Structure 1
């Protein structure tokens, strides 16, 4: 545990550059298993459980994205290895955006996977209804949307992934989960993305129904120098659906960033 009371795991050489991994809503740090395995050959890898997820206790604060970014900044400060590479998936990508905007001196590079900076009014209404359904019915109300987070081919050939997601979601605290979805529904960072000056990589699946490639294209448009990669045959659970391609793109990006003499040059 750290001073921010988040559960974390560390791996890889302590002398290597640090990579911090921030998971999606309802998941936990174990969903970075493929990335941890790939990154620890060269990097000091730190994966964390957001408050109320995995083995982290519920937060003493509201659980807002602003508060969560502050929590992650505290973890980074505890590590004492500034700045760090930050990788965020979905909701974790929103926390990562806020971190890079509000705490730029902590972030050496930013990788955003299957995420967005803004939503249409129609999408916001849907996200709020998802939160309300969980408040009223419990975590079982979240299950019908889970198959949509995987590409059709993935769901057919890897039913174990859907089973894993189901078990994790059912174990969630519905209050924490619903509050996070309310935060997602209200998230708006598009007008502040120009403040992100570090090298940035955007990864998205071509079959992502939750945060489609168009959402990443808008991020790429507003983050100076950002590179965007669309991964074929993958949907919203990109890190677990297409781990080989995800890891190839991520490790190549980090290698390029680390050849630069000035960390804040664009990719």
Structure 2
């Protein structure tokens, strides 16, 4: 794993392959390598694939708790520039999808395309107000729990019930490494309302959701699909929230077809 320093933050990342750049953004639990391990291997045959550990997760340092999606988006722009990843395709899962939305708004000339997987326009922009408040309150409370209690609460919501235990356990191991302060920073950013950014997205966008996702249900997917002009929605049967792991083969085929269709 490599790292770069950006405005005093150490940002760790995993890089594989050669070709057009493909940047992978994980959700608000776990880390880049564990979340995207299969995609790092699968897409490295024709892309330069980079999965970062967002500030506040994995091997990266913690940002201020009020970093917000704007802070994350600006950090991502500097990260992409430092690694000389020109006009990358950007794939964001869950919170990583919200980050990709804000990134496309603040830095519209950088991404070549977006893939938003199990994504929200922020909890505040995609969930009922009460549900968004409850989710943020839960996250702030979870940040003070032991790693085991943290994982026991959130891990069951990440996968479909039939996901192999070894797959779930591997993801749970990465979740146990959470940073309390960093997790709060990501949760506060995830709670924002990004609906105003959706009509401003000017690049081709693929939306990928699992039909068994209990965190970002299909109503969320359809709302984003309606609000983003050049977007296509693909629903993966039998997949839960971490759909790139739950239905890895279908996810990979769907994303590769989209990227090929955009001339990559």
Give me the TM-score of the superposition, normalised by structure 2.
0.91
Q: Residue 210 of structure 1 corresponds to which residue in structure 2?
A: 215
Q: Residue 248 of structure 1 corresponds to which residue in structure 2?
A: 253
- Relative to total residues, which structure has the larger helix share, 1 or 2? 1
Pairwise CA distance, 1:135: 4.0
Q: Residue 150 of structure 1 corresponds to which residue in structure 2?
A: 159
Instruction: Output the CA distance in 1 between the equivalents of 2:141 and 2:85.
Output: 42
Instruction: Output the CA distance in 2 between the equivalents of 1:58 and 1:179.
Output: 8
Pairwise CA distance, 1:12: 0.9
After superposition, where does 1:175-214 map in structure 2 within 5 Å? 175-185=181-191, 187-214=192-219
2:4 counterpart of 1:2: yes
2:50 counterpart of 1:46: yes
**Secondary structure class of the residue paired with 2:4:** coil
Instruction: Output the CA distance in 2 between the equivalents of 1:215 and 1:249.
Output: 19
Pairwise CA distance, 1:51: 1.0
Instruction: Output the CA distance in 1 between the equivalents of 2:71 and 2:250.
Output: 32
**Secondary structure class of the residue paired with 2:245:** helix
Instruction: Output the CA distance in 2 between the equivalents of 1:142 and 1:126.
Output: 18
Q: Residue 31 of structure 2 corresponds to which residue in structure 1?
A: 28
Pairwise CA distance, 1:52: 2.2
For the 8 Å contact 2:151–2:172, the answer to whether it is kept is: no
For the 8 Å contact 1:27–1:53, the answer to whether it is kept is: yes
For the 8 Å contact 1:130–1:142, the answer to whether it is kept is: no
Q: Residue 160 of structure 1 corresponds to which residue in structure 2?
A: 166
2:115 counterpart of 1:107: no
Q: Residue 69 of structure 1 corresponds to which residue in structure 2?
A: 73
Unaligned runs of 5+ in 1: 260-267
Pairwise CA distance, 1:220: 0.8
Pairwise CA distance, 1:66: 1.1
Pairwise CA distance, 1:41: 0.7
RMSD between superposed Cα atoms in Å: 1.6
Q: Residue 233 of structure 2 corresponds to which residue in structure 1?
A: 228
Q: Residue 78 of structure 1 corresponds to which residue in structure 2?
A: 82
Instruction: Output the CA distance in 1 between the equivalents of 2:210 and 2:196.
Output: 24
2:145 counterpart of 1:137: yes
Give me the TM-score of the superposition, normalised by structure 1.
0.90
